[in-house]
Structure 1
Amino acid sequence: MLRISVVLLTLFSSCLSMASMIIPAPPKLAADAYILMDADTGQIIVEHEADKRRPPASLTKMMTSYIAVHELQLGNVSEDTMIPISVKAWQKGGSKMFVREGTEVPLIDLLRGIIVQSGNDASVAVAEYFSGSEEAYADWMNQYAKTFGMDNTHFLNATGWPVEGHYSTARDMAVLARHIIKDHPEFYSLYAEKYYEYNDIRQPNRNKLLWRRSSHFTVDGLKTGHTDEAGYCLAASAESEGTRFIAVVMGTRNDDARTRETQKLLAYGFRYYQTQQIHSAGDVLQTQPVWLGQSDTLDLVLENDLSLTLPRGGDDELVKVVNYNEYLEAPIEQGQVVGSLSITRDGDVVAERPLIAANAVAEAGFFGRLFGKIQLFFARLFATS
């Protein structure tokens, strides 16, 4: 199959008039492990010991809340679904929402108890309601983790309570945070709530970055964690001018340190990088001939938007290569993969995407196909001569 590559030299950047910027090395944080990820592209900007297995403490609750919210979206429960509080949930130690044994609490209140107040009691109650036991819910959490590609994560409970064999990594927590942001955007605002009051007890969100104002970005989530084994951990996300980053910092020495180190990581990302949309879904990247069909041409398009994480302030020359089959024959179905797009920067491949048929092309009738085969024969003959 003969394939043609069309190479286009294109300058993408809102900063074409700016001088090229030399990007310094990322900061070295006072933390055991950390990572900075672009929430839209998934690209990693900074990482240190990002795949080292560590106790995640209450970062675990991000998966606990994710599953409950997903059940909400599926319509299996509602925000007003009443969740019974067991003795086990009521007696659970550590941070609490202060629910009472024998009562029933609306699911949305328990979600706030998990996310804002980091309530172990709320986490156990939700786990028992959906799966019958916390252990069964942990198995469900592991199934989601596997689906998300969180290969270095294993949950044994819904709270992050220290136990041997319960672990995750900075990278896996960033992946989970990205799913929370992308999969359930209408509930993501829960992670930005600064206070929640239940049972006449008002508690603040432990994520201090929610109160800090920066001229470059605004933090609006996600979750803190702390045990003696894990140290102080924080998964945080911030947005500015269409760019959103996720930072996960694990194993700092105290609350102030996790706040400070996470802010350093986010500041570095927003200072030197940005998310830039290169193409939108449906953009025609190539119009190619079609043989033996009722139409002579076919538009090749992207199925989804294509964005890249690029340095700020530089003239980023991206090379686009569109690969397609010069002798594509009908019939062709709409959405069928018929080519590919590759984008390189400084010789490195930064994106590869399939190109699909924008529309269907039915095969020609008998005489059309007969005449088309004759044309196709000579086209191939002259191309090889």
Structure 2
Amino acid sequence: MSALVWRRVCRGFVLCCFAALLQLGAPATGPAAAFETSAPTAILVDHGTGRVLYEKSADEEIAPASLAKLMTIIVLFEDLKQGRVQRDDRFTVSEYAWRTGGASSGGSTMFLPLNSDVSVDDLIRGIIVQSGNDATIVVAEGLSGSVEAFAKRMNEEAETIGLTHSHFTNPHGLPDPEQHVSVRDLARLAAHLIREFPEDYPIFAEESFAYNGINQRNRNPLLALGADGLKTGHTSDAGYGLVASAQRDGRRIVLAMSGMDSAAERASEARRLMNFGLQDFEEVVLVTAGETLGTAAVRGGVVDRVDMAAAEDLRMLVPRGSLSDVEREVVENGPFVAPVSEGQRLGWVRFARGDETLRQVPLLSETAVEEAGLFQRIAETLARNLGWGGAQTP
């Protein structure tokens, strides 16, 4: 090909990916379509890309049980971030908190003594590690004056985060016919906690917490298997549920499931879903920002070609070991007339399967090309018109 061709095409390599998965929102195929769980409702999300790797009845409205405490913690963390409360502030354990969520209630409890004062820092661990219902009520009353007022704040925060199938009426998740969530919303809550409160998120991985002389272990069964949070839940109407997150090789996944019949089934199915997300998918780098992918023709410049570089990264999550005939095509949109500025768009890199364009990234000039002097431009014009030094431009 001549240095002055209108279009320069370089057909590249075969990538290890499914073309269908190169499109955001593409339906599950391959491993994702083959995976199944006994959980009535479940979702698995790649945290980095936000891609749903698996879902089953993910928008069905369900009772949250203790998973509602994730929203309670978000409201508390937000108040800490905004300086409305401090970690060493102390809240008093009311009779309502003691009776509704204390030792005599029969539910998860922090075993807070009646009328005692407890620090916000201890309450955080009492909610996250011990899943104390009494701790959530103490927080609700301490921050908002009442459970009802706090529930209003929970719903306001839910709207801000973008939950679409959730409504909260209490901070602990005890049964209420008006209270519901979806596993998609629970996964969004988890992602919000991980993203917005990175300094506090490690608390979810703490294996135990002792208060009032009573040591309780974290109920998350996946902590021993590589997960680093978040929470379990159980009531008779909700069944056994879990929200968890884990990372491996720089990738993080978030999963949520609910409605299982036993703690053993919850642990088993959550482990299967976690391993599926971490083992069966991999991130493939198709192109990196600044990577040189070709050159573009320039007329009337001090040089006749300029390097083109990718404008941005293009990374895709694909099933591990999957193969598909996806081709990379580098397209030059020239020739260009000097001057050419640095960063000027000169073409694009296209990823395609057959005639179908899947994704493309702009290509930019790596350097500026100044206009040539008069005599150089005359010589170039003569060479082009008389065919000196190469084929004529088509």
Query: How high is the TM-score relative to the length of structure 2?
Result: 0.71
**Which 10-residue stretch deviates more, 92-101 or 167-176?**
92-101
Aligned to 1:185, what secondary structure does the other structure show? coil
The match for 2:57 is 49
The match for 1:121 is 134
> 1:188 aligned to 2:196?
no
Superposed counterparts of 1:1-385, under 5 Å: 23=31, 25-93=33-101, 94-211=107-224, 213=225, 218-276=226-284, 301-302=311-312, 307-315=315-323
> Structure 2: any 5+ residue segments left out of the alignment?
1-6, 18-28, 102-106, 297-307, 337-342, 366-394
Number of equivalent positions? 349
Question: Is the alpha carbon distance of 1:13 and 1:25 closer, same or farther for their aligned partners in structure 2, counting shifts above 3 Å?
Answer: closer
Letter in 2 for 1:243: R
Displacement of 1:260 in angstroms is 0.5
> Structure 1: any 5+ residue segments left out of the alignment?
15-20, 289-297, 328-333, 359-385
Aligned to 2:199, what secondary structure does the other structure show? helix
Displacement of 1:83 in angstroms is 2.4
In percent, how many aligned pairs have the same letter?
Answer: 37
Output the CA distance in 2 between the equivalents of 1:307 and 1:142: 35
Output the CA distance in 2 between the equivalents of 1:56 and 1:349: 42
Counterpart contact for 2:140–2:147, Cα < 8 Å: yes
Output the CA distance in 2 between the equivalents of 1:96 and 1:347: 61
Displacement of 1:50 in angstroms is 0.9
RMSD: 4.5
Question: Is the alpha carbon distance of 1:340 and 1:222 closer, same or farther for their aligned partners in structure 2, counting shifts above 3 Å?
Answer: farther
Structure 1 residues 212-249: Cα deviation after superposition (integer angstroms, max 9, x where no partner): x3xxxx11111000000000001111111112111211
Question: Is the alpha carbon distance of 1:285 and 1:139 closer, same or farther for their aligned partners in structure 2, counting shifts above 3 Å?
Answer: farther
Output the CA distance in 1 between the equivalents of 2:359 and 2:94: 50
Structure 1 residues 66-121: Cα deviation after superposition (integer angstroms, max 9, x where no partner): 12112222333332222232222222232111122322222121111111100111
Displacement of 1:26 in angstroms is 3.7
Counterpart contact for 1:38–1:275, Cα < 8 Å: no
Aligned to 1:29, what secondary structure does the other structure show? coil
Aligned to 1:222, what secondary structure does the other structure show? strand
Structure 1 residues 286-320: Cα deviation after superposition (integer angstroms, max 9, x where no partner): 999xxxxxxxxx99945xx7643211123466678
The match for 1:368 is none
- Computing the radius of gyration from Cα coordinates, the structure with the larger value is 2
Counterpart contact for 1:27–1:264, Cα < 8 Å: no
Question: Is the alpha carbon distance of 1:202 and 1:274 closer, same or farther for their aligned partners in structure 2, counting shifts above 3 Å?
Answer: same
**Which 10-residue stretch deviates more, 77-86 or 106-115?**
77-86
The match for 1:382 is none
Question: Is the alpha carbon distance of 1:10 and 1:231 closer, same or farther for their aligned partners in structure 2, counting shifts above 3 Å?
Answer: same
Counterpart contact for 2:289–2:309, Cα < 8 Å: no
Output the CA distance in 2 between the equivalents of 1:132 and 1:286: 64
Moved over 4 A (4+): 6-14, 276-288, 298-302, 315-323, 339-353
